[in-house]
Amino acid sequence: MTDAYIVGAGQSSFGSFPEETYRTLFREAYEAAAPADLDPGDVDEAFVGTLGVGGRQIGLAGPVVTEHVGLHGVPCTRVENACAASGYALRQAVMAVESGMADLVLAGGVEVMTDTSAEATKYWLGVSGETEWERMAGTTFSGVYAQMADAYLREYDAPRRAMSEVAAKNHANGAKNPKAHLGFECSVDDAEAASVVADPLTLYHCCPTTDGAAAVFVASEEVAASFDDRVRVAGVGAASDRVGLFQRDTYTAVEASERAGETAYDAAGVADPRTDLDFAEVHDCFAIAELLAYEDLGFCDRGEAAALVGDGVTAIDGDLPVNTSGGLKSKGHPIGATGAGQAVEAFDQLTGNAGDRQLDDPERGLTHNVGGSGGAAVVHVFEAEGVSGA
């Protein structure tokens, strides 16, 4: 089996662009991702992640954007796993390469979220909850994650302030990212003092509603050799779980993340993520989600996430920087584009192109993308050129 490599990755600006369309945003990402020496005629497969409800293209939402960048004829599949849509699209691209059915694959995602009414957006955002018992009962996503936050703070007697520390850290990183939606700093006190959205979550504990697109080119080892930048996909893992939070065994862990991480670590030879990883992009749709991710992915023991962020371990100058891009919190969360967008940051870090956010020669990083409140999760481990297994 061939290894899979990322040979190009890029994203549109993330933000509020109601005048843009899924096509124009995807094209912006495609052009940012395309390696200088790409021959589009060599692309032999495409996967596009999008949730894409509302007034936009619904059926054939994949081919409708790939045709717009000129990839007529290339097999294109829309992949949807709610907020993990393009994390799964990337995993499909890796699978296509490893199956031998494709040599150069475009994986990406796109979402336009701000061109509908507030009422439609509320509907929109609820569709990834469990339909009968969450969405139709009126539960919002903030409400679901607030239940997780409340359960976590109680179980471990953790301070709400830990979530504000996550927010302040991610905004500090996002302020250095020219493509971030909310590219400004926010202090811990700002986050603490902000309006409550769903107790205990304040406004700054919640990611914004974002438009954007991201794209990644995945190649076989042989094809990758002809490109200048190469990042190896060292491991991939995915898992599903019951879609409704109320159906799960625990509110204070996301088991799909844990399983996905274990699978990816096994494949990549990551024995201890605390020492074997140099950075991670995790799914911080709400600040509590980042704290849970620390524990689900083995960055610390259960109940220790508040201390991890409090001690600065996950700050950009810490031992294991998390969300150097700004994360969903500050960079933004255009649903279908988020997973591929995380891979863009990993690619930029591992090729030394992360600008003001550049880490000091990172060798290995992780991306972690969650659908809904944990009904699906996918984890990738990436390695810089020349690094071979942990």
Catalytic residues: 83, 333
Stretch that binds a second copy, among 203-211, 271-279, 320-328, 373-381 (CB under 8 A): 373-381
Q: What string marks each residue from 48 to 87 as x (binds a second copy by CB under 8 A) or -?
A: ---x-x-xxxxxxxxxx-xx---xxxxxxxxxxxxx----
Residue located via tokens 């902000």: 194
Could you tell me the two tokens for 23?
A: 């096509």
Using CB under 8 A as the binding rule, whether residue 99 contacts a second copy is answered as yes
Q: Which is nearer to a second copy, 194 or 267 (by Cβ)? A: 267
Q: Toward a second copy, which CB reaches closer, 256 or 366? A: 256
- Of 197, 18, 15, nearest to 117 (Cα)? 18
d(CA 325, CA 62): 26
> Does residue number 224 form part of the binding site for a second copy (CB under 8 A)?
no
Cβ neighbours for 253, distance < 8 A, ≥ 6 positions apart: 292, 295, 296, 302
> Which residues 6+ apart lie within 8 Å of 353 measured at CB?
347
Min CB(115)–a second copy separation in Å: 13
How many chain residues interact with a second copy (CB under 8 A)? 62
Task: Tell me: does residue 223 bind a second copy (CB under 8 A).
Answer: no
Say which DSSP state 130 is in.
Answer: -
For the bound state, the minimum distance from the C-beta of residue 369 to a second copy, rounded and expressed in Å, comes to 12
Q: Is 96 in the site for a second copy (CB under 8 A)?
A: yes
Closer to a second copy by Cβ: residue 53 or 308: 53
Out of 101, 137, 196, 271, the residue judged to bind a second copy by CB under 8 A: 101
Please report whether residue 240 would count as binding a second copy according to CB under 8 A.
yes
* 216 makes contact with a second copy (CB under 8 A): no
Tokens representing 121?
């957006």
By the 10 Å C-beta count (0-12 exposed, 13-18 middle, 19+ buried), 64 is classed as buried
Taking the CA atoms of 310, 312, 315 and 319 in sequence, report the sign of the dihedral they define: negative
Taking the CA of residue 19 as centre, how many other CA atoms within 13 Å lie in the half-sphere pointing to its CB? 0
Question: 272, 240 in Cβ contact below 8 A?
Answer: no
Interface residues with a second copy (CB under 8 A) are 1, 46, 51, 53, 55-64, 66-67, 71-83, 88, 91-92, 94-101, 127-131, 236, 238-243, 247, 255-256, 259-260, 371-372, 375-376, 378
